[in-house]
Amino acid sequence: MSLKEVYITNTSHFLPNEPVSNDDMEDFLGHINNKASKSKRLILRNNGITKRYYALDKTGVSTHTNAQMVAAAVHKMFANNTDDLKKIDLISCGTSSPDQLMPSHGVMVHGELPETENIEVVSPSGVCCAGMHALKYAFMSIRTGDATNAIASGSEKLSRTMRAEMFEDEANKLEAIEANPYIAFEKDFLRWMLSDGAGVTLLSNTPNPNGLSLRIEWLDGVSFAKELPPCMYMASDKDENGKLVSYKDYSPEDLIGKSVMSIKQDVKLLGEHIVPLGITKMRETMEKHGLQSSEIDWFLPHMSSNFFRSKIFDELNAQNIPIPYENWFVNLPNVGNVGAASIYLMMDELFHSGKLQKGQKIFLLVPESSRFSYMYGLLTVV
């Protein structure tokens, strides 16, 4: 069997509603028990995000579902061309925040695209790497000849879970026992970090007849879960021994009273491991593929916070794979941390920027702190 070349021939995105500034965030997320967050100002200063998007209004009512945002990005990419949408034979959708546990996120997206045929749909789960897993499945399907044209997406809708009322029962219980009434930093931290949105790519076994395409050279992934405990988790909590306990094993009262359905992150564990592990494996992956850092024209690192920018830069130098800042392409300040969608939003903005030239190489780096997984990819502009 001969393997096909695979090309990204178009990209698109959807960011809901108007951008939300740092000053306006609590108009949408609210104050927990009418008390100001102790950590908000520090977190915003470190993460470097100035704008983000929420798929809800100021009363907390959702304006879009996760699936609807992906479908909106797809319709935008195809300019609502029904004939072209009928040519798609695979939809691959990654997210860490589906609208429901069942049905899968991917089939819900398919349900929002009635112009398509009855086709294969997959829904890789995970966190930030889920979007890259979706891209890899679409890539492999076209490469093996199982598909000709595919849509891959990454998307998130987390704002609704960050609303103040989701934490107030827990805060009330803490006050009742005269404990510190503020929500633990591991929960409050992520309220000021995350954003909603969707990004999509169109993959084909032939490049654009006119204009540029991105040939996918390779996509590689790795997990360090056998070595490290969970760092970011949702619909679960850690017991006194640090073991992760599923939401299924909590009482209905504790699901609310302990904010089990909220996202938590062990910031200390994150800081110790996320950059060194990721850059070490990046160097090993580049060596495996015979790639020199001097060959990288555009470096697209997914970062949850600008705090990691200098740390990544320094670690790249320490591992002898330097990439100067002028070769980096990051849009975190203007769109926020959109998890599985972030790498798609960077690819989309760069693809339509007018900055690309044939022959340039684009390196993708996506870390996932949930239990320390990473995805890497190399694209060539053709």
The answer to whether residue 167 sits within a structural domain is: no
User: Is residue 39, in this structure, part of any structural domain at all?
Assistant: no
Give a yes or no: residue 168 inside a domain: no
Whether residue 181 is predicted with pLDDT greater than 60 in this model: the reply is no
Q: Does the pLDDT value for residue 166 go beyond 80?
A: no
Task: Please report, rounded to a whole number, the percentage of residues in the chain having pLDDT higher than 70.
Answer: 95
* pLDDT above 80 for 180: no
- Predicted pLDDT at 302: 98
**CATH number of the domain enclosing 101:** 3.40.47.10
Among 36-40, 104-108, 309-313, name the one with the lowest average pLDDT.
Answer: 36-40
351 CB burial (10 A radius; 0-12, 13-18, 19+):
buried
Q: Which two tokens stand for residue 110?
A: 């398919």
Half-sphere exposure of 376 (CA within 13 A, CB side): 20
Structural domains in the chain (count): 1
List Cβ neighbours of 247 (8 Å cut-off, separation of 6 or more): 235, 236, 255, 260, 261
- Residue 39: pLDDT above 80? no
Q: Which amino acid is at 67?
A: A
Q: What is the pLDDT of residue 177?
A: 43
pLDDT at 137: 98
Per-residue pLDDT reduced to its tens digit, 274-305 = 999 999 999 999 999 999 999 999 999 999 99
**CA 43/CA 51 separation, integer angstroms:** 14
Residue 311 inside a domain? The answer is yes
| Better-predicted residue by pLDDT, 43 or 374 | 374
Instruction: Tell me 249's DSSP state.
Output: G
Please compute Rg for the chain using Cα positions. Answer: 21
Question: Does 38 map to a domain?
Answer: no
Mean pLDDT value across the chain: 92
Residue 255 lies in a domain: no
The pTM assigned to this predicted structure is 0.94
Reply yes or no on whether the pLDDT at 176 is more than 80: no
pLDDT for 182 equals 46
Question: Which two structure tokens, joined as six digits, stand for 352?
Answer: 């339509």
pLDDT at 378: 98
Residue 67, domain member (yes or no): yes
Amino acid at residue number 24: D
**pLDDT number for residue 267:** 86
In 3D space, the residue among 132, 144, 117, 131 whose CA is nearest the CA of residue 66 turns out to be: 131
Q: State how far the Cα of 105 lies from the Cα of 369, in Å rounded to an integer.
A: 22
Q: Is the residue at 115 inside a domain?
A: yes
* Residue type at 53 in one-letter notation: Y
pLDDT band at 179 (very low <50, low <70, confident <90, very high): low
Q: Which residue has the higher pLDDT, 272 or 171?
A: 272
pLDDT digits (tens, 9 = 90+) for 51-81: 999 999 999 999 999 999 999 999 999 998 8
Give the domain range for residue 128: 1-17+53-158+194-223+266-382
DSSP 229: -
Given a cut of 90, whether residue 263 has pLDDT beyond it is no
- Sequence-distant (6+) residues with CB within 8 A of 300 are 328, 329, 330, 343, 346, 347, 350, 362, 363, 364, 365
